[in-house]
Amino acid sequence: MAKHTIVLIPGDGIGPEVTTATRRVIEASGVSIDWVELPAGANAIAQGFDNVLPERTVAAIKAHRVALKGPVTTPVGKGFKSVNVQLRQRLNLYAAIRPVRSLPGVKTRFENVDMVIVRENTEGLYSGIENEIVPGVVTSLKVASEPACTRIARYAFRYATRRHRKKITVFHKANIMKLSDGLFLNCARKIFEEEYPNIDYEETIIDAGCMKLVQDPTKFDVLLMENFYGDLVSDLCAGLVGGLGVVPGSNIGEEAAVFEAVHGSAPDIAGKGIANPLALIMSGVMMLRHLHEDTAADRIKIAYNAVLEEGDKSKLTRDLGGTGGTDSFADAMVAKLK
Ligand code: ATP
């Protein structure tokens, strides 16, 4: 069996708890991995690095090409530039892929939700270009470039084709942001018309799109959008299938891939042993598929579906109506994988 070297970034907040649980589950699936554990965020500063994203961590991801990452706190309004944004920009992880699916045993308003959000990950309002024009007046630049818009559109159509998905819906606000969202839309249309006319294609203004999502998410398939909308719509969609504890993600570039849950560091529940590790475990399944370890990925998926379906409250975390914690869910998963 091939041995993989994976960079493991525990992160902070609930990060160390959910990464430990995920590592246990991945190891129990029988796959052979050398973990290279490196810090990012507050942990990096605590360990004596002078940056929240140490060069050593970036270099290791470049060298090994795959990382599994826990969440990292992003300070509000001040301090270092977000680790997540830095990582995506420095490694050119231009596509965020976030599958949102109904899960067995997880009761929500809707059944049979099965969508994938494809989020542009490198520009938009996340350019970090902000200026104070005069005291009391600031601007934030929303950047859209034709290569980046075309690249993410092509990624979405290629993904849809490979995964036998039927339809792509672009969320936009080109009626107001005529140049930036207009460019995003034009690039998507061009890829549809010139390269993938066999996939159904539609566009929706984002506010109406959000309404349609909460009315009936089963009408959507692949959702394509720019960076900021992708952030908001990801959390909205998580709410449709059981919350942030059950939505995984990957950040994909030509040179590297970083797998992480959609949720943040959840400081309100950090250190209490109650965080749901499932979103990161599912991100780990996406990572295993990326590594062509489909047998291990399938085993983990079967195991979490079984634990959820059995509905033993003592094994489930509180966000899913259980009475257990991070470790009891991981223990149940490991027991299934033995
Ligand atoms: P960020 O902007 O950094 O991505 P966020 O705004 O998405 O963060 P989170 O930190 O992800 O916010 O979490 C929002 C709330 O959702 C948390 O305060 C927590 O109560 C809940 N939550 C998030 N992740 C989990 C999890 N894995 N298990 C249980 N609850 C969670």
- Summarize the confidence of residues 230-253 as an average pLDDT: 97
Q: What separation, in Å, do the N-terminal and C-terminal C-alpha atoms of the chain show?
A: 18
Sign of CA dihedral 93, 226, 9, 282: negative
Which residues have C-beta atoms less than 6 Å from ligand 1? 14, 74, 235, 244-245, 263-266, 268-269, 275-276, 279, 319
| Whether the Cβ atoms of residue 10 and residue 70 lie closer than 8 Å to each other | yes
SS3 of 157-194: the string is HHHHHHCCCCEEEEEECCCCCCCHHHHHHHHHHHHHHH
Report the amino acid identity of residue 57: T
Task: pLDDT band for 74, please (50, 70, 90 cuts).
Answer: confident
| Cα 315 to middle of ligand 1, angstroms | 20
pLDDT digits (tens, 9 = 90+) for 309-329: 999 999 999 999 999 999 999
pLDDT digits (tens, 9 = 90+) for 259-312: 999 999 999 999 999 999 999 999 999 999 999 999 999 999 999 999 999 999
Sorted by sequence, the CB contacts under 8 Å of residue 305 that are 6+ apart come out as: 103, 104
- Decide: helix, strand or coil at residue 134: strand
- Summarize the confidence of residues 96-107 as an average pLDDT: 97
Provide the pLDDT for residue 106.
Answer: 95
Task: pLDDT band for 46, please (50, 70, 90 cuts).
Answer: confident
CA of 179: how far to CAs of 174, 194, 282, in Å? 7, 22, 37
The active-site residue out of 69, 173, 315, 336 is 173
| Share above pLDDT 70 across residues of the chain, in percent, rounded to a whole number | 98
pLDDT of 75 over the 70 cut: no
Query: Exposure of 283 by Cβ count < 10 A (0-12 exposed, 13-18 middle, 19+ buried)?
Result: buried
Provide the pLDDT for residue 18.
Answer: 98
| Whether the Cβ atoms of residue 170 and residue 156 lie closer than 8 Å to each other | no
| Whether the Cβ atoms of residue 96 and residue 251 lie closer than 8 Å to each other | yes
Name the DSSP class of 114. E
- Summarize the confidence of residues 71-80 as an average pLDDT: 75
The active-site residue out of 34, 62, 207, 272 is 207
Among 17, 98, 265, 269, which residue has the most ligand 1 atoms within 8 Å of its CB, making it the best to mutate?
Answer: 269
Sorted by sequence, the CB contacts under 8 Å of residue 293 that are 6+ apart come out as: 4, 31
User: pTM for the complete prediction?
Assistant: 0.95
Bridge partner residues of 183 (DSSP): none
